[in-house]
Amino acid sequence: MASKRRRKGRPRKTGPRYRNGKLRPSSHEPVVSPAAVAATQPHRAGLGDCAADQKAESVLGRMALLGQITGLQFLAGQRYAAQWRAYLATLDGPRSPQRSQGRGQSCLGCPTAAEREKCACDLARRSWVRSASALHAIPGGIVVTARVCCWDVPCPIWGLAMLRSGLDALALSLGLTTRNKSSRAENLNPNHV
């Protein structure tokens, strides 16, 4: 008669299992929703029904959900942060080796001015410099905007007006407003009086 050998360690819980051996949840256990988990996270406290929103991951997104900034200002801040990250990636980053699996820069260096204008690293630098120069027009705007958008640091109460004006300047510089589009259309239309 064959005897069963007892396994070492803690005994397994009884119940139905998946094919991989993990225990299936029973029907009497409540299923935890992602919204309930998100509501317990400290940085999402105070957002109410918007706690599970994707925007609540960043300081800028939480400010948009709370109505401290507009949706256009939020988009401008996201674009500025993306430009900043793209510019940082060009600063003495690793060049693309033979088997890099998509990592590193694709730029191998741009010796002539004509090649530099078409290069992705120079385009990233120019777009970030254009946005940063738009922020320099606002006193203290570049510091507060960079802290909130790029470094994800909460905005102090005294800097909220500077942040809003900085994000408005970015939206204008990036062409996100309809004001830029309508003025360009008027300049292009010869029949406009």
Over residues 7-29, the pLDDT tens digits come to 788 888 888 889 998 988 877 76
Highest mean pLDDT among 63-67, 112-116, 181-185: 63-67
183 pLDDT above the threshold of 60: no
Count CA within 13 A, CB hemisphere, residue 39: 8
Instruction: Provide mean pLDDT across the span 94-115.
Output: 58
Radius of gyration of the chain (CA): 26
Instruction: Provide mean pLDDT across the span 20-44.
Output: 81
Q: How far is CA 87 from the centre of its chain?
A: 15
Q: How far is CA 102 from the centre of its chain?
A: 21
- Cβ-in-10-Å burial (0-12, 13-18, 19+) of 60 comes to buried
Mean pLDDT of the chain: 81
DSSP assignment letter at 53: S
CA distances from 56 to 75, 151, 166, 182 (A): 14, 15, 21, 33
Single-letter residue type at 46: G
Q: Model-level pTM? A: 0.70
* CA–CA dist 76, 154 (Å, integer): 17
Residues 6+ apart with CB under 8 A from 21: none
Q: Which residue has the higher pLDDT, 73 or 48?
A: 73
Over residues 63-92, the pLDDT tens digits come to 999 999 999 999 999 999 999 998 888 876
101 pLDDT above the threshold of 90: no
- Cβ-in-10-Å burial (0-12, 13-18, 19+) of 141 comes to buried
- Cβ-in-10-Å burial (0-12, 13-18, 19+) of 103 comes to exposed
Domain ranges, ordered by start, for the chain? 56-93+110-183
180 pLDDT above the threshold of 80: no
